[in-house]
């Protein structure tokens, strides 16, 4: 076992890259008085089974808690306009997911005998059927809200009495021989496991316009947590996670009330969230955390490859903070001049969704939509018959040639 660990340390966790000059893994392991453990890469192996446990816990939470809570708060799912099944259009939609060009529409017109407007209407309604319901989005937001709230409260209680919470230079006092308290270890393991679970579930969650940015954020966060723990940057790492958790639960709570239709509560929470986010992500994070990781630490050790790697990842997070701050300021502008927050700027574009919020509006459109569906159904049948006729004709021509 020790031989395998030595090989891993030699090829993956190379001391010359990850640690300051003259510091070894043994230096981190030795002399950590005042704590019950010292950081080691093998401590993070538990995060993968915990991530899978988080996924299972999330499924149970959404079914047993979030869904009943959504009904209690009055979350209503919008009525989707149904579409008539048309095999060629369905095959095209599954292949292109509704993204089409003019030439492809022209081919579909000939195959199905439909007009361009009818095809676009069918694709439009078919896409709406795949959009997540308000209940589903409420369940996702409530799960993240519960996690962020519990983790933030617990981490704040455990860190508020530490010296580096008030003076960030204390993050480097005694480095690298700094003990890791059990609370800090489980804070790391919990956060890393949770972000691993988010990354594993990202393809099935509600996709937003910042989907790619979310992937970058999750990957950067996972690398930051893992590296900061193995390099014993635990003190500054706890501050990074605390700053992020301080506003995340406010955002998720605002989403929950938005899906429930509690506009005033949503707007109030959004204003609080925007203030906390802008202060913590654009002021506290760069001026306190980034400054101590880029400047204060140089009083303890010279720059080394891991130093640049760590700070580059922090700068990636800061770039994402600026991007999301721009989206938030757009929403603040709408709130100030329109009087309400219309929707989450990161949500899938609901301006194109023709949905009816209730049965009364649906009944008003029943006659027109029923006529369109009947026409589409007859055209679909004609399309299927034409395809069968063409296939029979080709079979007869082949038999004639064979004779």
The predicted-structure confidence for 280-294, as pLDDT tens digits, reads as follows: 999 999 999 999 999
Q: What's the average model confidence in pLDDT over 255-281?
A: 91
d(CA 213, CA 233): 25
Specify the range with the lowest mean pLDDT, choosing from 79-88, 166-175, 270-279, 328-337.
79-88
User: Could you identify the residue written with the tokens 């804070």?
Assistant: 187
Paired strand residues for 180: 37
Instruction: Using the Cα atoms of residue 20, residue 182, residue 62 and residue 255 in order, give the sign of their dihedral.
Output: negative
Mean predicted confidence (pLDDT) in 151-168? 93
Q: How confident is the model at residue 352 (pLDDT cuts 50, 70, 90)?
A: very low
- Exposure of 328 by Cβ count < 10 A (0-12 exposed, 13-18 middle, 19+ buried)? buried
Give pTM, 2 decimals: 0.75
| Residues 146-168, mean pLDDT to the nearest whole number | 93
What is the rounded radius of gyration, in angstroms, for the C-alpha atoms of the chain? 28
- Paired residues of 356 in beta bridges: 79
Which pLDDT score is estimated for 160? Answer: 92
Min mean pLDDT across 83-87, 141-145, 160-164, 167-171 is at 83-87
Q: Give yes or no for residue 24 having a pLDDT over 70.
A: yes
Average pLDDT, stretch 188-193?
Answer: 94
**Above 80 in pLDDT, residue 166?**
yes
Question: Mean pLDDT of all residues in the chain?
Answer: 78
In this structure, are residues 45 and 51 in contact, taking their beta carbons and an 8 Å threshold? no
Pick 144 or 111 by higher pLDDT.
144
Determine the pLDDT at residue 319.
93
pLDDT band at 6 (very low <50, low <70, confident <90, very high): low
Query: At residue 151, does pLDDT exceed 90?
Result: yes
- Model confidence over 194-216: pLDDT tens digits? 999 998 888 777 777 667 878 88
Name the more confident of 59 and 14. 59
- Choose between 250 and 90: higher pLDDT: 250
Q: Is the pLDDT of residue 157 over 90?
A: yes
CA 229 to chain centre: 23
Question: Is pLDDT at 55 greater than 70 in this prediction?
Answer: yes
The residue that leads in pLDDT, 70 or 107, is 70
The residues with which 79 forms a beta bridge, in sequence order, are 356
For position 60, what pLDDT does the model report? 95
Q: How many residues does the chain have?
A: 403
Alpha-carbon distance 122 to 126, whole Å? 6
State the pLDDT at residue 4.
59
CA dist 396 and 264 (Å) reads 69
Percent of the chain with pLDDT over 90: 35
Whether the ω angle into residue 115 lies within 30 degrees of 0, i.e. cis, is: no
Q: In degrees rounded to 5, what are phi and psi of residue 180?
A: -110, 120
Please state which of the ranges 44-48, 138-142, 185-189, 347-351 shows the lowest mean pLDDT: 347-351
Higher pLDDT, 253 or 206: 253
């Amino acid at each position: 076992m020790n031989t395998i660990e030595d090989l891993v340390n030699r090829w993956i966790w190379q001391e010359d890259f990850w640690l300051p000059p003259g510091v070894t893994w043994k230096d981190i392991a030795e002399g950590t008085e005042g704590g019950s453990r010292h950081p080691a890469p093998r401590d993070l192996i538990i995060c993968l089974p915990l991530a899978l446990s988080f996924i299972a816990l999330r499924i149970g939470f959404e079914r047993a808690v979030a869904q009943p809570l959504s009904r209690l708060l009055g979350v209503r799912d919008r009525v989707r306009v149904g579409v008539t099944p048309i095999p060629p259009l369905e095959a095209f939609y599954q292949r292109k997911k509704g993204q089409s060009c003019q030439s492809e529409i022209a081919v579909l017109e000939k195959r199905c005998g439909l007009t361009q407007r009818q095809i676009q209407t069918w694709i439009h309604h078919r896409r709406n059927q795949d959009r997540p319901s308000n209940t589903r989005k409420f369940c996702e937001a409530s799960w993240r809200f519960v996690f962020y709230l519990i983790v933030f409260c617990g981490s704040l209680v455990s860190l508020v009495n530490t010296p580096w919470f008030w003076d960030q230079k204390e993050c480097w006092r005694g480095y690298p021989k700094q003990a890791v308290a059990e609370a800090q270890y489980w804070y790391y393991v919990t956060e890393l496991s949770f972000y691993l679970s988010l990354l594993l579930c990202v393809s099935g969650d509600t996709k937003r316009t910042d989907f790619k940015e979310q992937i970058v954020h999750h990957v950067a966060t996972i690398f930051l947590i893992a590296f900061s723990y193995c390099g014993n940057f635990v003190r500054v790492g706890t501050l990074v996670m605390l700053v992020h958790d301080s506003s995340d639960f406010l955002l998720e709570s605002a989403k929950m009330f938005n899906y429930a239709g509690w506009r005033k509560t949503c707007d109030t929470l959004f204003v609080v969230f925007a203030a906390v986010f802008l202060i913590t992500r654009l002021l506290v994070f760069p001026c306190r955390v980034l400054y101590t990781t880029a400047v204060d630490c140089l009083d303890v050790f010279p720059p080394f490859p891991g130093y640049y790697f760590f700070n580059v990842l922090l700068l990636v997070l800061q770039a994402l903070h600026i991007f999301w701050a721009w989206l938030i300021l757009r929403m603040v502008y709408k709130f100030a001049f329109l009087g309400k927050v219309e929707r989450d700027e990161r949500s899938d574009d609901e301006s194109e969704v023709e949905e009816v919020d209730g049965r009364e509006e649906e009944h008003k459109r029943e006659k027109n939509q029923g006529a369109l569906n009947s026409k589409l159904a007859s055209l679909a049948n004609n399309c299927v018959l034409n395809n069968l006729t063409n296939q029979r004709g080709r079979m007869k021509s082949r038999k004639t040639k064979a004779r």
